[in-house]
């Protein structure tokens, strides 16, 4: 029986990396395992699990290396820390208890980092200490002698530099040779001697005195200043958005033309009549267009994540969260919600995945619920089409374009809506207690290019795998809905009108009539469930314009003539709030482990969108725009 349990795990001994947050553990993990990493979740929780094989060994014999979530102690206060505590205690479901624990400590902050080492030692596991950032400690005049530390702790100590290539050499050699691994110490439950032991270790090392980090102090004087701090944050955010939209334009257009080209090319080979034409349509309209619809978001997501990773690695992001904490606190959230919401401007899905860093379950849920209100890039094509068709292109006072102003108002409406929803949820769900902040502001570091690159690679892979699958499936399903049943002989309208999607659209038109949507819009909203920007090409299909190449260009005059301005504005208001994106709902289901929250989310967004569109429509008609 026992043998079968062991066989559940991959062969080779298991080494776990443990350390405080910000100790450089993940950088060291990247060095030890190269890019041969498996990123998944721990059983039953949405905590990211990173495992890799030690480089240089055979697939079966080299130790497996597990990068456990950063923790300050083994008394967990977040799902992340709970995983670390459970794995070390051998309690984690589906996880083997590690054969060796590498405690990664930040040599510039032994006072706090050694506390965790002592706690791990008391667990009765064999421990090796990786003295990370040893070079930095030396430069700051607080050099640590590994031999002295090893003698004081009674375990092997190896110096490492996680941000330098081959900075892991000494640790790598030790891990590759299990005969050099230390024996397990006796387990000990009593923690009461930790403080005294820590003091004596620091005493022996000559570290009882503090060495202030002058550089971080100087930078913080500007970054955290009540006036210059928020100003700097605003400028940074502006630059990030500028980059996301300006730099991504060319690659996005390239993806779109490539998609159109490949679809055209495949179309040339395929049969255009008989039953074979369905296969043609499935391949070109369904599969290739669907794939293109996924990849087109990659440039913006990569650019946004590049900035997020750089800001994160440098130590700035927690400071931004600190500066925004008060603002977020007003609506019942903490500064920690800032990063997921920022990500949601590219796409809500990476934003929802980023909520994992929020330790408070209520805050995490509320952040997820409002993430879709941040204007994601998929709404832009719709906004561009409608603004181009209905808002006159003229300059207001001060050289501000009216069209740009409307776009800005739409973004703002999303943010204000999100804050309002969070505030409302605070009235119903926030318990009286004060929510925890206790957020570390790490010392500033230059971000290491190789870690930023690896981080980007991983995000891109996760996005394509998890999101791509969903969008592709939905696109294919909606292709079926929009293609079948086929129009009867002698039918005059667009084929989509006679399909299942058309039928649904006509039914929806009854629901949407009070907010000014005609049946064409209602039909187009159905395929738009896969990805919002599909609405533009669907409208083109409904208006029987055919051809995806320049749908928006030829569509604008048609709708400008066919719709009232009130209808167009109502549709814009609808898009600010609409629960249009099934992939987002699928992502929320995965993160919350059920359909309850995604159903709640879809419901409240629908009501909100309907209300906003109704108010907009009625106001516009009242103003004479009907």
Per CB under 8 A, residues contacting other proteins are 72-73, 75, 77, 108-109, 111-112, 115, 195, 199, 208-211, 213, 216-217, 220, 224-226, 318, 321-323, 325-326, 335, 433-443
Query: Do 434 and 593 contact (CB within 8 A), yes or no?
Result: no
Beta bridge partners, 17, equal 67, 102
307's enclosing H/E stretch is: helix 298-314
**Smallest distance from the beta carbon of 109 to other proteins, in angstroms?**
4
Nearer to other proteins, 8 or 210 (CB): 210
**Phi–psi pair at 66, nearest 5 degrees:** -110, 125
**Smallest distance from the beta carbon of 404 to other proteins, in angstroms?**
32
333-337: Cβ within 8 A, 24+ apart: 333/363, 333/366, 333/367, 333/422, 334/358, 334/360, 334/363, 334/435, 334/437, 335/437, 335/439, 336/363, 336/439, 337/363, 337/366, 337/367
Tokens of 167: 């900075």
Nearer to other proteins, 75 or 238 (CB): 75
What would the DSSP string read from start to end of 36-91? -EEEEE-TTS--EEEEEEPTTS-TTTSPEEEEPPP-S-SS-SSHHHHHHHHHHHT-
Nearer to other proteins, 64 or 115 (CB): 115
Nearer to other proteins, 226 or 490 (CB): 226
CA distance 396 to 376: 27
**Smallest distance from the beta carbon of 125 to other proteins, in angstroms?**
19
Instruction: Read off the DSSP letter of residue 18.
Output: E
Tokens of 79: 């799902």
Nearer to other proteins, 52 or 315 (CB): 315
**Smallest distance from the beta carbon of 108 to other proteins, in angstroms?**
6
**First-to-final CA distance of the chain:** 76
Tell me the three state secondary structure of residue 127. Answer: strand
Nearer to other proteins, 8 or 438 (CB): 438
CA distance 336 to 411: 21
Nearer to other proteins, 123 or 499 (CB): 123
**Smallest distance from the beta carbon of 42 to other proteins, in angstroms?**
22
Question: How many Cα atoms sit within 13 Å of 78 on the Cβ side?
Answer: 24
Q: How many CB atoms lie within 10 A of CB 506?
A: 13
Nearer to other proteins, 159 or 335 (CB): 335
**Smallest distance from the beta carbon of 119 to other proteins, in angstroms?**
9
Nearer to other proteins, 211 or 272 (CB): 211
Residue carrying structure tokens 């700035």: 316
**Smallest distance from the beta carbon of 342 to other proteins, in angstroms?**
18
Nearer to other proteins, 111 or 589 (CB): 111
Tell me the three state secondary structure of residue 526. Answer: coil
Tokens of 114: 């050694």
Q: How many CB atoms lie within 10 A of CB 6?
A: 9
**Smallest distance from the beta carbon of 224 to other proteins, in angstroms?**
5
**Smallest distance from the beta carbon of 336 to other proteins, in angstroms?**
10
Q: How many CB atoms lie within 10 A of CB 599?
A: 13
**Smallest distance from the beta carbon of 111 to other proteins, in angstroms?**
4
């Amino acid at each position: 029986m026992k043998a079968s349990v062991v066989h559940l795990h991959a062969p080779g001994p298991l080494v776990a990396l443990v350390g405080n947050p910000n100790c450089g553990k993940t950088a060291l993990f990247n060095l030890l395992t190269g890019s041969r990493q498996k990123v998944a979740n721990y059983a039953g929780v949405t905590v990211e699990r990173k495992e890799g094989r030690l480089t240089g060994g055979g697939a079966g014999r080299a130790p497996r290396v597990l990068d456990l979530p950063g923790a300050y102690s083994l008394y967990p206060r977040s799902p992340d820390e709970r995983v670390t505590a459970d794995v070390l205690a051998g309690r984690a479901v589906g996880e083997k208890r590690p054969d060796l624990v590498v405690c990664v400590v930040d040599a510039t902050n032994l006072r706090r980092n050694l506390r965790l080492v002592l706690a791990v030692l008391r667990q009765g596991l064999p421990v090796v200490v990786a003295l990370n950032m040893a070079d930095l400690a030396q430069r700051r005049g607080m050099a640590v002698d590994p031999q002295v530390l090893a003698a004081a702790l009674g375990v092997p100590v190896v110096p490492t530099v996680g941000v330098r290539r081959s900075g892991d050499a000494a640790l790598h050699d030790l891990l590759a040779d299990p005969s050099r691994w230390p024996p397990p110490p006796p387990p000990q439950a009593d923690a009461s001697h930790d403080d005294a032991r820590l003091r004596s270790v620091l005493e022996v090392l000559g570290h009882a005195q503090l060495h202030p980090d002058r550089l971080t102090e100087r930078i913080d004087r500007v970054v955290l200043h009540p006036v210059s701090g928020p100003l700097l944050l605003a400028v940074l955010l502006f630059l990030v958005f500028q980059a996301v939209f300006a730099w991504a334009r060319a690659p996005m257009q390239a993806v779109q033309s490539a998609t159109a080209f490949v679809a055209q090319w495949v179309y040339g080979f395929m049969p255009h009549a008989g039953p074979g034409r369905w296969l043609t349509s499935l391949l070109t309209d369904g599969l290739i267009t669907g794939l293109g619809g996924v990849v087109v978001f990659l440039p913006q997501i990569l650019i946004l994540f590049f900035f997020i990773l750089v800001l994160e690695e440098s130590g700035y992001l927690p400071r931004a969260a600190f500066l925004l904490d008060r603002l977020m606190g007003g609506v019942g959230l903490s500064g920690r919600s800032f990063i997921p919401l920022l990500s949601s401007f590219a796409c809500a899905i990476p934003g929802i995945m980023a909520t994992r860093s929020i330790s408070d379950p209520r805050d995490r849920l509320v952040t997820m619920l409002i993430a879709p209100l941040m204007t994601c890039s998929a709404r832009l094509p719709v906004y561009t089409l409608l603004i181009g068709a209905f808002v006159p292109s003229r300059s207001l006072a001060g050289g501000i374009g009216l069209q740009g102003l409307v776009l800005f108002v739409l973004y703002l409406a999303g943010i204000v809506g999100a804050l309002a929803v969070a505030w409302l949820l605070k009235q119903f769900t926030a318990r009286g207690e004060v929510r925890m902040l206790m957020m570390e502001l790490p010392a500033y570091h230059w971000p290491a290019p190789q870690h930023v690159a690896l981080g980007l690679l991983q995000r891109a892979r996760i996005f394509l795998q998890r999101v791509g699958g969903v969008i592709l499936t939905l696109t294919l399903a909606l292709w079926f809905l929009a293609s079948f049943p086929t129009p009867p002989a002698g039918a005059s309208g667009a084929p989509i009108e006679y399909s299942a999607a058309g039928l649904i659209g006509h039914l929806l038109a009854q629901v949407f009539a009070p907010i000014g949507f005609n049946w064409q819009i209602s039909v187009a909203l159905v395929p738009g469930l896969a990805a919002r920007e599909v609405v533009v090409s669907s409208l083109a299909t409904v208006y029987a314009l055919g051809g995806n190449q320049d749908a928006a260009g030829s569509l604008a005059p048609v709708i400008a003539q066919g719709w009232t301005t009130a209808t167009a504005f109502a549709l814009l208001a609808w898009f600010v709030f609409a629960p249009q994106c099934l992939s987002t709902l699928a992502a929320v289901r995965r993160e919350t482990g059920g359909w309850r929250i995604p159903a709640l989310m879809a419901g409240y967004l629908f009501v909100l969108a309907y209300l906003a569109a109704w108010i907009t429509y009625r106001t516009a008609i009242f103003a004479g725009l009907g």
